[in-house]
Amino acid sequence: MDTEALKKYSALHPKPAGLTLQYGTAGFRTKAEQLDHVMFRMGLLAVLRSKAMASTIGIMVTASHNPEEDNGVKLVDPLGEMLHPSWEEYATQLANAEEQELQKIITEICQKAAVNQDKDASVFIGRDTRPSSKKLSQSVIDGISVLGGQYHDYGLVTTPQLHYMVCCQNTQGQYGKATLEGYYEKLSKAFTELIKRSPSSGESQRHLKIDCANGIGALKLSEMQPYFPKEVQIHLYNDGTKEKLNHLCGADFVKVHQKPPRGLAMKPNERCCSFDGDADRIVYYYKDATGHFHLIDGDKIATLISIFLKELLAKLGQTLKMAVVQTAYANGSSTRYLEETLKVPVHCVKTGVKHLHHKAQEFDVGVYFEANGHGTVLFSKVAETKIRQLAKEEKDDEKREAAKVLENMIDLINQTVGDAVSDMLVIEAILALKGLTVQQWDAIYTDLPNRLLKVQVADRRVIDTTDAERRAVTPPGLQEKIDALVKNYKLSRAFVRPSGTEDVVRIYAEADTQENADALAHEVSLAVYHLAGGKGAPPQP
Q: Is 371 annotated as a binding residue?
A: yes
Q: Is 280 annotated as a binding residue?
A: yes
Q: Is 64 annotated as a binding residue?
A: yes
Whole-number Å distance between alpha carbons of 240 and 234: 16
Terminal CA-CA length for the chain: 60
Residue 275 backbone phi and psi in degrees, to 5? -95, 165
Handedness of CA 6, 12, 17, 22 (dihedral sign): negative
Say whether 422 is catalytic: no
Residues 64, 122, 188, 333: which is the catalytic one?
64
- Looking from the CA of 308 toward its CB, the CA atoms found within 13 Å total 25
Whole-number Å distance between alpha carbons of 449 and 331: 9
CB 280 within 8 A of CB 160: yes
3-state secondary structure of 531: helix
Handedness of CA 331, 333, 336, 342 (dihedral sign): negative
Q: Is 281 annotated as a binding residue?
A: no
Q: What is the largest CA-CA distance in the chain?
A: 70
| Dihedral angle computed from the Cα positions of residues 268, 271, 277 and 282, in that order, rounded to the nearest 10 degrees | 130
Q: Is 276 annotated as a binding residue?
A: yes
475 cis-preceded (ω within 30 degrees of 0): yes
Residue 97 backbone phi and psi in degrees, to 5? -65, 145
Supply the DSSP string of 180-240, one letter for each residue: HHHHHHHHHHHHHHHHTTSTTTTTS-EEEEEE-TTSHHHHHHHHHGGGS-TTEEEEEES-S
- How far does CA 383 lie from the centroid of its chain? 24
Whole-number Å distance between alpha carbons of 227 and 22: 40
Q: Is 372 annotated as a binding residue?
A: yes
Which residues make Cβ contacts (< 8 Å) with residue 243, sequence separation at least 6?
214, 249, 262, 263
- Closest by CA position to 367, among listed 437, 312, 317: 312
Q: Is 501 annotated as a binding residue?
A: yes
- Tell me which residues are annotated as active site: 64
Q: From the annotation, which residues make up the binding site?
A: 64, 276, 278, 280, 370-372, 497-501, 506
Binding-site residue ranges for Mg(2+): 64, 276, 278, 280
Binding residues for substrate: 370-372, 497-501, 506
